[in-house]
Amino acid sequence: MSAPHPPAPAGVPLLGNGPAFLRDAMGTLWRAQAQLGPVFALRLGPKRMVVVTGPADALDVVNLPESTLSLRPVYRWVIPMFGEVLQAAEYEGYVDQREMMLPALRSRNLPNYLKCMVKEAGDWLGSLGEFGVFDATRGLERLSMSIAVRAFLGEDFLLRSGEYFWRQYVDLAEGMEILLPPRLPLPRLIRRDRARDRLFTLLAPKTAEARLDPDPERHGFLATLVGGRYSDGTPVSDEEVIGLLLSLVFAAYETTAAQLAWSLVLLLQHPDQLKLVVEEADGAPEEPTPGSLHAMRRLHWNLREAERLRPITTMLWRYTEKPYTVGGYTVPAGWFTVLCPPITHRSPEVFDSPGEYDPDRFSPARDPGGRAAATLINLGGGQHRCLGARFAESEMKVVLSMLLRSYRLSLVEPDPPPSKKMGISRPASPCLIAYQRRGPGPGRAGTEVRP
């Protein structure tokens, strides 16, 4: 006898839990979890979804094969932005494309990327002056974009076309649409399509140039990508190269900047932790290396705690291709499967006082087996884990350490709210940070400036 389907909270006729979910998705999930436990169902009109929130069950689910849980039916929204790239299931080139992206993000490339991060972060800090206020959300988005463009397209392209690229990319990103039909004639979707065409036009000659002269110094990761081939020997087309590159920039720009902003906000809200991180940054080499970044353990724990408390991904969606069992329930084929990092990351099964900011919970003394860190599913898992996690962590460490070495900082608004925009969770803009340059040399006391 098969296991029962997961239980669902009461809903309204025909629409089920849809109205409540559209009105307050996270509130609906929290209430259902409190009522029904770590595995439950929701009915959104004719569609069904299972939500898995328990840490152990979530890790089991995130590691299920593509043949059971598929990305492609869920993430069709990327096609109007990037084309048929990094799509899974029946799209046979998916695994090949991920393999093509890996060289951009392997450890041996990290020293070169660190130079890009240091150069762009240094230029940004140099533009701030002695004191003032900056918007952490927009400022860090622009910085992350510049780092990604320099790293993946080269310095020449950044200097020549970086400003135009930035303007078009903002319109492209603003056109991300998950719920509505992607081709509706809405103004922001029209702007998205125009921006996509302009970006492809901009990058076409750059791609052709990289094919003729695949020099990584001149063309960044593009030089590697143009030489990619599928497993049957077919070369990657120019359009696929551009789509893959834009998707990589999108991940670096959207996700890294948002998690970096939340990490900075949480540090500034906790002066005791801020003081420890500043002391660690002051003692680190001014020119970072992979080894010196790895040695910044205090900063590392604070980044993990920010990822736990303020995950940029609120829901991870999959389409159930084959039935599977989780938590004693059967999930039928045709249902959506949803993981919810904000709930899973606050599970009292793993985290003591889960609502408190406590970076030391990730220290070897408190978590010798690494169970706490393994529970974080913010960046996915299994074959779909974020390819750029190492790049993103290095960027956050470089930017935060350079910023904290240079300035005393304070939040203008003590508790910045999250943005209400769909998609990546980030502080609502403007998220204002007051800053004042620190004095030179030892004893430059103070980690806070009054706005």
pLDDT single digits (tens) 142-155: 999 999 888 888 88
Of 108-122, 222-236, 258-272, 320-334, give the lowest mean pLDDT range: 222-236
Residue 443 pLDDT > 90, yes or no? no
Burial of 56 (0-12, 13-18, 19+ CB in 10 A): middle
User: Across all residues in the chain, what is the average pLDDT?
Assistant: 86
pLDDT at 90: 37
Highest mean pLDDT out of 158-172, 258-272, 312-326, 365-379: 258-272
Q: How far apart are CA 341 and CA 313, in angstroms?
A: 7
pLDDT at 94: 45
Residue 102 pLDDT > 70, yes or no? no
SS3 of 411, please?
A: strand
pLDDT single digits (tens) 27-71: 999 999 999 999 999 999 889 999 999 999 999 998 898 889 987
Band (pLDDT 50/70/90 cuts) for residue 186 is confident
More confident residue, 206 or 383: 206
Band (pLDDT 50/70/90 cuts) for residue 99 is low
pLDDT at 385: 61
pLDDT at 131: 95
Highest mean pLDDT out of 73-77, 95-99, 266-270: 266-270
pLDDT single digits (tens) 125-142: 999 999 999 999 999 999
Residue 89 pLDDT > 70, yes or no? no
User: Does the domain formed by 46-437 have CATH 1.10.630.10?
Assistant: yes
Q: How far apart are CA 122 and CA 81, in angstroms?
A: 31
Q: How far apart are CA 435 and CA 174, in angstroms?
A: 29
pLDDT single digits (tens) 252-290: 778 899 999 999 999 999 999 999 999 999 999 988 988
Highest mean pLDDT out of 13-22, 231-240, 339-348: 339-348
Residue 445 pLDDT > 60, yes or no? no
pLDDT at 3: 79
Residue 76 pLDDT > 90, yes or no? no
| The residue type at 164 | Y
Residue 213 pLDDT > 90, yes or no? no
* DSSP character string of 261-310: HHHHHHHHH-HHHHHHHHHHHHTS-SS--HHHHHT-HHHHHHHHHHHHHS
Residue entry with tokens 């020293």:
111
Question: Percentage of residues in the chain with pLDDT exceeding 90?
Answer: 53
pLDDT at 222: 80
* Other Cβ atoms closer than 10 A to 96: 16
Q: How far apart are CA 367 and CA 373, in angstroms?
A: 9
Band (pLDDT 50/70/90 cuts) for residue 294 is very high
Residue 111 pLDDT > 50, yes or no? yes
Q: How far apart are CA 25 and CA 45, in angstroms?
A: 15
Q: What value does the mean pLDDT take over residues 81-87?
A: 66
Residue 169 pLDDT > 80, yes or no? yes
Q: What value does the mean pLDDT take over residues 333-342?
A: 94
Band (pLDDT 50/70/90 cuts) for residue 87 is very low
CA neighbor of 203 nearest in space, from 153, 237, 253: 153
Q: Which two tokens stand for residue 221?
A: 């990761």
